[in-house]
Amino acid sequence: MRRVSKTSPRSSIYNSNVYGLDTTGIWTCLTCGICPIECPQQVDFLNFIKEERAGKEPLEVAHLGVFTEFNELSSKLNGTKPEKSDLKIGYFPGCVDQLGLFLHDVKTDFGEITTSSLKLLDKLGIKPHILNMKCCGHDVLWQGKKDVFEKLKDHNKKYIKESGIDTLVTSCGECYRTFSKDYDLGIKVIHTSELLDKLGLKINAEVTYHDPCRLGRHMGMYDAPRKALSANGVRIKEMEHSKENALCCGVSSFMNCNEQTKALRIARMDEAAATGAKTLITTCSKCLAHFNCLKTEKDATKKYDLDVVDLTVFLARQLDGRK
Amino acid sequence: MKGSVAVVGGGIAGIQAALDLADSGYKTYLIESKPSIGGVMSQLDKTFPTNDCAMCILSPKLVETARHPNIELLGYSDVKSISGKAGDFNVKVVRKARYVDETKCTGCGTCTEKCPSKVSDEYNAGMSKRKSIYIPFAQAIPRVATIDATHCLFLTKGKCGVCKKVCGPKAVDYEQKDKEIELNVGSVVIATGFKPFDPSILKNYRFDHPDVITSLQFERLLSASGPTQGHVTKQSDGKVPKNVAFIQCVGSRNPRINRKHCSSVCCMYATKESIIAKEHDSELDITIFQIDVRAYGKNFEEFYNRAQKEYGIKYINSRPPEVIVNPDNSLSLKFEDFNTGDLVAKNFDLVVLSIGLDPADSTQALARSSGIALDDFGNIATTIENPVETSVAGIYVCGVAQGPKDIPDTVAQASAAASKAAALLSGERGTLIKERAFPDEKPLSPEPRIGVFVCHCGINIGSVVNVPNVVEYAKTLPGVAHAQEMLYACSSDSQVTIKDAIAKNNLNRVVVASCTPRTHEPLFQNTCREAGLNPYLFELANIREHCSWVHMKEKDKATEKAKAIVQMAVAKSALFQPLYKQKVSLINKAIVLGAGVAGMTAALDIANNGYHVTLIEKEKELGGMLREMTELYDGKRPADVLKDLISKVSANKNIKIMNEAKLLKVEGYLGNFRGVVLANGNEITVDFGAAVVATGARNFEPSGLFNYGSDKRIVTQAQFEKMLGTGVNAKTITMIQCVGARSKEREYCGRTCCVDAVKNAIRIKKANSSANVYVLYRDMRTYGVNEKMYETARDLGVLFIKYDADKPPKVQDSTVVVHDSMMNEDIEITSDLVVLSTPLVAGENEEINQLFKIPLDKNKFFLEAHPKLRPVDFATDGVFLCGSAQAPKLIDEAISQASAAASRACTILSRKFIETEGAISVVNEAKCIGCGTCVTVCPYNAPSLYDATVKVEEVTYTTKKSKINPAACKGCGSCAAACPAGAITAQHFSSKEIGEAIDAFDKGVKSIFIDKGVVEVTV
C-alpha cells in the first residue's frame, strides 16, 4: 500500500475537535474505513467524521455539486406514495437514473444494474415491489448536510412503512450501508449479492472483484458477492489488496475528484489488470462510475483492457447468453 | 485609390459584405433606403431547411453592424447615382428626412405610443396598423423613430405635434429636410435585393379577395411578432382555416408576364411555411400546387421528404389557372389529377400565392443611371467565371440583385463581393479606419465602491417600476457608494453623467439597471473604459425585458422584483475582477487545400488581397473537375477558363503551388497553424494563419443501376460530357435523371444534374437538330436564371418525360421503358445512347476533417458553421470552406463561395494580431485530473491535453492536464459546467459570482415569494 495523501486520522481529530484549528482533514478523508480496521484502540473514526462534518460546509463537492443540488431539491418536494401491493419484498434501484443522466461521458449504462437485478430476482422466483423513493441520502449525510438527510430519511421511512414490505433489497453498496446503519427501519435489509448464489448458472469465466468500501469495510460483506460468482462457476482472481485491505476507488460520496483520488484509481486498476482477468466486478455504482471514468478518459495516458461491470449486470448478461 | 467601400442595400447581403469589408480594414458605408437595415429576412418567421428563427440569427448581425467602428450606417437613404472609376467613385446619396434627430433619439417608443395617426404596416405586409411615427420592428437598427411624412398629421395638415411634445430627448424635428451627400469611395457593392412580385397583376388569382394572400403575408401570420401573434387566421372573418392551398410560381416561370425566371426559393419557403403552420395546428390540411418541386440545396430534399412523411403535406403536380370565388364568397381551385386524368374542383379556406422575386425598380434605375449592364431578366449582369463582377470595373454585386437565390448563396456572394472590393483596394487597406484611444485604467482598490444607475427608459420602465424607490433601495446595499436615476441611461448626456459620477465617487464597479446586455452592454462598457475602469467591472441589470415589460399590471411587485434584480447585479459585480483581452500574434499567410476552380479562385483572391498562399493539390495537374468538362452553360470552353485561371495562379508571386502533395498533419489554432505537407516524398512544414478547404467532390459511379456497366451504350452524364467534346454520333439519346440521388441510399438532390442534362441536350440539338433527345426526370430543377436553358431546350424540341420515383424507367440493352406519369402510360424509347445523370458524392473528406477537427454531415460533405448565415465558415475559427466539398454546386456558385471563403480568411489575415475574448475560461492545473471532458464538450477546440507528471506523496504517475487556448476560447462556459473536478472557471461567470447573485435574490425583498408546492423538474 502506498500513501497518496497526508490525511492522518489523528491530526484530523485533534485539529478539528480538540484544538479547533483546521477542519481540512475531516473533508479530505475518503471515509473508506480502513483506519478503524487497523486502529488498535478501535476508535470509531467513521462515525467521528460523519458527526464532525454535520452542519459544516464541505471543502468541495465534485461535479459542481449537481447531485447534492438534486437531493436538496428532492428533499423539499412532496415525493410519491407507494402503490398498493401485498408484496413483501421491496427493491430500491437507487440513483442509477441520475448517474446515467449526468455521467454520460463515462459510457456506462447505470440503469442496466436495475434491469439486471430484476431479471435475476425473477429467475430466483422473487417478484419485488419496486420502491419509487427519494435518494437514501448517503451522499448528503457524508457531505455534512444532515438536515437534508433527515428530510429524505423521514420521507423514505414513511414510504417503506406504507408499502408494507418486510424485506428491502438493494444492489447498491451505499444504499445498503445507509438503510442498515443510518436508518432504523426495523425490517430486513439485504444486498442483492446475498441472493445470487442460488442462480444455478454455469459460467466459464475469470474475473477479479473489487470490494466497495461501503459493502466491505463498512458492512463487513466480503463473502456474499464472491459466493455469488463462484457458486455460478466463475473463477475469481484476487487482487493484491482485497477484502478488508482492499484499496478504495477514491470516489467518496462524490466529494473528491483530484490528483489523489486519481492516483487511487490508477493504483486499483493496475492491481486489477495485474490479476490477468479481463473483467473487474464491483457492487457499487460509484466505484463503477469512477473506474469507467478513468477508462474512458479522452486521450488516456494508460489503456486498460478491462471490462468494469456491476455484479448483477455481469450475471444477467450471462443469463441472456451475452458476453 | 480610396480605402473605403459603399455598400448599397442593407439586407442580409449588404450586411454581410459590409461586415467582411469592415473586418478586413476598410471604411464601409452601408446605405439602406428603409428606416432600418435587415431587409426581407427581418420579416421572415423561420428559415429553411433548419427552421431556425430568422430574427434570432439575423438580429446579432444587425447589432454587430451597428456597433462596428468601421461601418457608417446611412439608414433611410437612397443612392441616386454612382460615377467615377475603380478606386475612385463618387456616390450621390440622398439622406431622407426622418424628422427625427438620429443622434438624439433613444428609441424609447413614447412618441409611437402617443401618435394618433394609424397607417398600414408594411413590416406585417399590410395586415396590421402602425403609427405615423414609428420604429419598423422591435430589433430595428438604427433604433430610432422615423416619421412617415405622407401620413403625419402635423406634416400634412399642420395639426397635432404630439410626438414633439412627448419626446424626452427633444429629437423630433419637423423642419428636417432631405439632404444630398456625396461619398468618395474606392469601390461599390450593390446588394439591393429584390421586390416581392405583386400578384394583383395576375387578375385570375383574385388577390382582391381577403383570403387570397401572399406567401410573405402568410409568413407574417406565422410569426410571433406578426399581426396575429403567430395564429393563422383568415383575413375575412378571423376564423382559423381548415385547409390551405399554396399556388407555386406566381410571378415566376411565366413568360406571358415576362417572368421567365424561376425564383429559386419559393418551393422551399412554401414547404417551410407549411411545416410551421402544421406545427402550430396539426389539424390543418395543406396542399402545395407545383410544376416541379425544386428542393435543390443542401438538406432541401430531406426537408421536402419530411414535409410529406412527417407532416402530411400534400404536393400536387398541377398549376391551377385561377382562384375561383364562389357565390358564397368561398374559394375553390380547379386542377388536373394526373393519377386519374380528371379535372377536380376543391374548396380551400385560404389560398397562399407563392410570389416570386422581381428585380427591384430601384436597382434597374441605379444600373441605368450608372451605366451598369443588366441581364435579360433585369438583374445586374455577371458571367459564370466572374459571378460578382458587374460590367463596370470596381462595382460588384451580390445577392438577389444578381439573380434569384436563397440566403446561404446570398451570404456567400456577399462575402465574395467583399473579397473582390478588398482585393481592388488592398493597397489602401487600413488607411481610413481609426482606432479608439482610451485613458489608462485606474488601479483597482480592494473595497468595492459600486455605482448604480437606474434607468426610466422614458416610460418603458418608469411607468411600471417605481424607479426612485429602487434607487433608494440600491443605496442600502453593501458596497454601493452611489445610486441615481436616469431618464435614458443610454443617451449621450447620460454617458457624461456616468463618467462624472465614477470620478467624483471614486467608483470601481458600475451597475446600470435598464435593458438587455445584448444591445447595450458594449455602450456602457465603453463608458466605463473611458472613465478609466476596466470594462469587465460593469454589470447590466435588466429591469425592462425581465421586469417592467412583463409585469405591467403588477406595479408594486414589479418594483420589488426590480430591486431584487439590482441586488443580484450588485452582489455579482462586487466580485468582478478586471479582465484583459490578450493580443496574440498571427501568421498572415493562408493555405488552400485543393486546386480545382474553387481552390484556385480562393487562392487567387487571397493573394490579390496581399497575402501569401500555399495551394496544395493532390493531383499533378491543377483544375480538378473542370478539366473533365467540355462546355460551360454559356457556351464558353472550360479549357479556356482554366487556362486563364491557371496562368493567373501560376504567375502570382503570392501563391506557392504544391502539386502531388498531401497535408499530413495540422496543429495550432486561429492565426497560428502549423501543417506538415508531404510533397515529392519530402515532409515540408507550412505555417499559416487561416485555411480554406476546397477539396471538391467526385462523380458517383452508378454500378448496377439501370444496367450501367452491362452495355457500352449506357454511360454517365460525366462521360457523355467528355464524349460531346469530340462529337457524338447518335440519333436517339435518352437521359435519366436522379440516378443514385433522391433515393434511400442518397437522399440529397444532386443540384447540378438537371442543369447539366439540359445543357448537354441543347448541345446535341444544336449540333444535330434531327437528333431525338429525351430527358426522363422527376422534377426539373433548373432553378433561378437556369430556367432559360430549360425553355431553350424545349424550344429546340428536347422531350421531357416525367416519371415517378416508385416507377423508375427500365433499361435493357439500350432500350428504355418509362412510365410517363402525366400521360399515365408506358413509353418505349429505342436509344443509341442512354445517359445516366448521377450526383456528385463526397471525396476523401474524412482525412481532412480529422486534421482540422471540422465536422462532416451525414453524406460526408463538410458541415458549415451555420447553414444560413455562415455558409463558408467552420465552427473552428480560421478554417473556411468552399465549392463542392460543402455540397454539390454549379461552377459560378463554387466560384462565389471560393471568393467568399477568401474574404472570410482575409478578415483574419488582415489583422495585426488576434485579440482574445476577455471573459474566457481558465483551468486550475492543480485541480485538473486530465479526464478530457472539457476537450469533448468544447465547440471551439479551445482546451487541449498535455502530458504531466503528478506526484502525490508516495505515488507518481503520468497523466494529462488540460489547458485552454485563450485565442480559441469564447468563454461559453461549457467546459466549466462539465468539469467533474471543478478545475475550470468561466471568468466573469464563475460559480462564485453566479452563486452570490442567486443568494442575493430575495434578501430584503418583501412581496415576491415562491409558491410552495409541487415543482416540476424537467431535465
For residue A6, which amino acid is it? K
pLDDT digits (tens, 9 = 90+) for B226-273: 999 889 999 999 999 999 999 999 999 999 999 999 999 999 999 999
Chain A hits for B957, CB-CB cut-off 8 Å, are 262-263, 266, 301
Contact map slice: A 110-139 vs B, CB within 8 A: none
pLDDT digits (tens, 9 = 90+) for B665-708: 998 888 999 999 999 899 999 999 999 999 999 999 999 899 99
Q: Determine the pLDDT at residue B437.
A: 78
Chain B hits for A269, CB-CB cut-off 8 Å, are none
Tell me: do A124 and A209 sit in the same domain.
Answer: no
> Alpha-carbon dihedral of residues B85, B86, B90, B96, nearest 10 degrees?
130
Mean pLDDT of chain B: 93
Q: Determine the pLDDT at residue B1018.
A: 41
Please list the residues that pair with B190 across neighbouring strands: B8, B397
Are the Cβ atoms of B950 and A293 closer than 8 angstroms? no
Q: Determine the pLDDT at residue B1016.
A: 46
Sheet holding A279-282, edge to edge: A235-236, A206-209, A279-282, A307-310
Q: Determine the pLDDT at residue A322.
A: 59
Nearest C-alpha neighbor of B774 from the set B805, B816, B722: B816
Mutate to test the interface with B, among A6, A7, A74, A262 (most CBs of B within 10 A): A262
Range of the domain at A140: 63-194
A63 touches chain B (CB under 8 A): yes
Would A24 be classed as within a structural domain? yes
B950 touches chain A (CB under 8 A): yes
Would A109 be classed as within a structural domain? yes
Chain B hits for A78, CB-CB cut-off 8 Å, are 1013-1014
Nearest CA in chain B to A77: B1014
Per this entry, what is the length of chain A? 323
- What percentage of chain B reaches a pLDDT higher than 90? 84
Nearest CA in chain B to A63: B980
Are the Cβ atoms of B955 and A2 closer than 8 angstroms? yes
Nearest CA in chain A to B958: A301
Would A168 be classed as within a structural domain? yes
Question: How many C-beta atoms lie closer than 10 Å to residue A243's C-beta?
Answer: 15
Nearest to B953 among A5, A76, A101 (CB): A5
Tell me: do A183 and A251 sit in the same domain.
Answer: no
ipTM (interface pTM) = 0.86
Are the Cβ atoms of B933 and A260 closer than 8 angstroms? no
Chain B hits for A301, CB-CB cut-off 8 Å, are 930, 947, 957-960
Alpha-carbon span B738 to B777, nearest angstrom:
7
Are the Cβ atoms of A297 and B1015 closer than 8 angstroms? no
A267 touches chain B (CB under 8 A): yes
Nearest to B952 among A62, A73, A263 (CB): A263
Are the Cβ atoms of A299 and B935 closer than 8 angstroms? yes
Are the Cβ atoms of A4 and B982 closer than 8 angstroms? no
Of the residues A194, A228, A258, the one at which a domain ends: A194
Nearest to A263 among B947, B957, B979 (CB): B957
Are the Cβ atoms of B958 and A266 closer than 8 angstroms? no
Q: What is the CATH number of the domain that holds A247?
A: 3.40.50
Within 8 A by CB and 6+ apart from A223, the residues are: none
Question: How many C-beta atoms lie closer than 10 Å to residue B664's C-beta?
Answer: 13
**Cell numbers given for B485:** 436615476
Nearest to B954 among A2, A62, A76 (CB): A2
Tell me: do A32 and A95 sit in the same domain.
Answer: no
Q: Determine the pLDDT at residue A254.
A: 85
Query: Which string of b and e fits B178-188 if b means at least 16 CB within 10 Å?
Result: eeeeebebbbb
- What residue ranges define each of the domains in chain B, with the CATH number in brackets? 1-96+178-193+360-434 (3.50.50.60), 97-177 (no CATH), 196-358 (3.50.50.60), 450-573 (3.40.50), 589-696+843-909 (3.50.50.60), 700-839 (3.50.50.60), 921-986 (3.30.70.3270)
DSSP string, A288-301: HHHHHHHHT-TT-S
Tell me: do A30 and A143 sit in the same domain.
Answer: no
Alpha-carbon span A217 to A211, nearest angstrom:
8
Are the Cβ atoms of B935 and A64 closer than 8 angstroms? no
Tell me: do A78 and A118 sit in the same domain.
Answer: yes
Chain B hits for A297, CB-CB cut-off 8 Å, are 930-932, 960
Q: Determine the pLDDT at residue B63.
A: 84
Q: Determine the pLDDT at residue B65.
A: 92
Distance from CA of B450 to the nearest CA of A (A): 29
Would A301 be classed as within a structural domain? yes
Q: Determine the pLDDT at residue A164.
A: 94
Nearest C-alpha neighbor of B84 from the set B224, B152, B207, B182: B182
A88 exposure class (CB count in 10 Å sphere: 0-12, 13-18, 19+) = middle
**Helices first, then strands: H and E counts in chain B:** 24, 52
∠ Cα B750 B755 B757 (to 5°): 95
Distance from CA of A200 to the nearest CA of B (A): 40
Alpha-carbon span B260 to B789, nearest angstrom:
11
Q: How many beta-carbon contacts under 8 Å exist across A and B?
A: 86
Nearest C-alpha neighbor of A304 from the set A312, A313, A314, A293: A293
CA B567 to chain centre: 39
**Cell numbers given for B164:** 414633439
Of the residues A134, A167, A194, the one at which a domain ends: A194
With contact defined as beta carbons under 8 Å apart, do B214 and B259 qualify?
no
Are the Cβ atoms of A301 and B927 closer than 8 angstroms? no
Distance from CA of B874 to the nearest CA of A (A): 23
Q: Determine the pLDDT at residue B875.
A: 83
Alpha-carbon span A322 to A313, nearest angstrom:
11
Are the Cβ atoms of A101 and B1019 closer than 8 angstroms? yes
Tell me: do A110 and A83 sit in the same domain.
Answer: yes
Would A3 be classed as within a structural domain? no
Confidence of residue B1006 (pLDDT cuts 50, 70, 90): low
B641 exposure class (CB count in 10 Å sphere: 0-12, 13-18, 19+) = buried
Tell me: do A49 and A86 sit in the same domain.
Answer: no
**Cell numbers given for B855:** 465536422
Please list the residues that pair with B213 across neighbouring strands: B352
Tell me: do A78 and A150 sit in the same domain.
Answer: yes
Tell me: do A268 and A180 sit in the same domain.
Answer: no
With contact defined as beta carbons under 8 Å apart, do B15 and B41 qualify?
no
Above 80 in pLDDT, residue B492? no
| Position with higher pLDDT, B889 vs A250 | B889
A64 touches chain B (CB under 8 A): yes
Mutate to test the interface with A, among B667, B923, B929 (most CBs of A within 10 A): B929
Are the Cβ atoms of A299 and B1017 closer than 8 angstroms? no
Are the Cβ atoms of A257 and B952 closer than 8 angstroms? no
Q: What is the CATH number of the domain that holds A148?
A: 1.20.1050.140
Alpha-carbon span B450 to B484, nearest angstrom:
12
Chain B hits for A3, CB-CB cut-off 8 Å, are 953-955
Q: Determine the pLDDT at residue B1009.
A: 53
> Helix, strand, coil proportions of chain B in percent (round to 5)?
30, 25, 45
Mutate to test the interface with A, among B957, B960, B992 (most CBs of A within 10 A): B957
A293 touches chain B (CB under 8 A): yes
Distance from CA of B409 to the nearest CA of A (A): 38
Contact map slice: A 294-313 vs B, CB within 8 A: 294, 297-302
Peptide bond into B517 cis (omega under 30): no
Q: Determine the pLDDT at residue B549.
A: 87
With contact defined as beta carbons under 8 Å apart, do B956 and B887 qualify?
no
Query: In order along chain A (323 residues), what is the average pLDDT of each group of 10 residues?
Result: 74 79 84 86 88 90 90 90 93 93 88 96 95 95 95 96 96 96 95 95 95 95 96 96 92 85 92 96 94 90 92 93 60
Nearest to B958 among A294, A299, A301 (CB): A301
Q: Residues B919-936: what's their mean pLDDT?
A: 93
Long-range contacts of A294-297 (CB under 8 A, 24+ apart): A294/A262, A294/A265, A294/A266, A294/A269, A294/B931, A295/A106, A295/A269, A296/A105, A296/A106, A296/A107, A297/B930, A297/B931, A297/B932, A297/B960
Q: To which H or E segment does residue A251 belong? A: none
Chain A hits for B952, CB-CB cut-off 8 Å, are 4-5, 259-260, 263
**Cell numbers given for B878:** 480560421
Tell me: do A189 and A91 sit in the same domain.
Answer: yes
Alpha-carbon span B596 to B694, nearest angstrom:
7
Above 80 in pLDDT, residue B519? no
Q: Determine the pLDDT at residue A25.
A: 83
Number of domains chain A is built from: 3
**Cell numbers given for B207:** 388577390
Nearest to B959 among A2, A261, A262 (CB): A262
Alpha-carbon span A125 to B398, nearest angstrom:
75
pLDDT digits (tens, 9 = 90+) for B608-621: 999 999 999 999 99
Would A4 be classed as within a structural domain? no
Tell me: do A95 and A48 sit in the same domain.
Answer: no
Contact map slice: B 389-428 vs A, CB within 8 A: none
DSSP string, B802-857: E--TTS--EEETTEEEEEETTTTEEEEEE-SEEEE---EEE-SHHHHHHHHT--B-
Would A15 be classed as within a structural domain? yes
Distance from CA of B928 to the nearest CA of A (A): 7
Dihedral sign from CA coordinates of A311, A315, A317, A323: positive
| pTM assigned to the model | 0.81
pLDDT digits (tens, 9 = 90+) for B418-457: 999 999 999 999 999 877 778 899 898 889 999 999 999 8
Greatest alpha-carbon pair distance for chain B in Å reads 95
Tell me: do A147 and A85 sit in the same domain.
Answer: yes
Nearest to A259 among B945, B950, B1017 (CB): B950
∠ Cα B791 B793 B799 (to 5°): 110
B933 touches chain A (CB under 8 A): yes
Of the residues A194, A227, A243, the one at which a domain ends: A194
Distance from CA of B1000 to the nearest CA of A (A): 18
In chain A, alpha helices (H): 9-13, 24-28, 34-38, 45-53, 66-76, 96-102, 111-123, 138-142, 146-163, 173-177, 223-230, 259-274, 285-295, 311-319
With contact defined as beta carbons under 8 Å apart, do B297 and B887 qualify?
yes
Nearest CA in chain B to A60: B982
Distance from CA of B576 to the nearest CA of A (A): 21
Distance from CA of B924 to the nearest CA of A (A): 11
B957 touches chain A (CB under 8 A): yes
Would A58 be classed as within a structural domain? no
Alpha-carbon span B53 to B616, nearest angstrom:
39
pLDDT digits (tens, 9 = 90+) for B638-647: 999 999 999 9
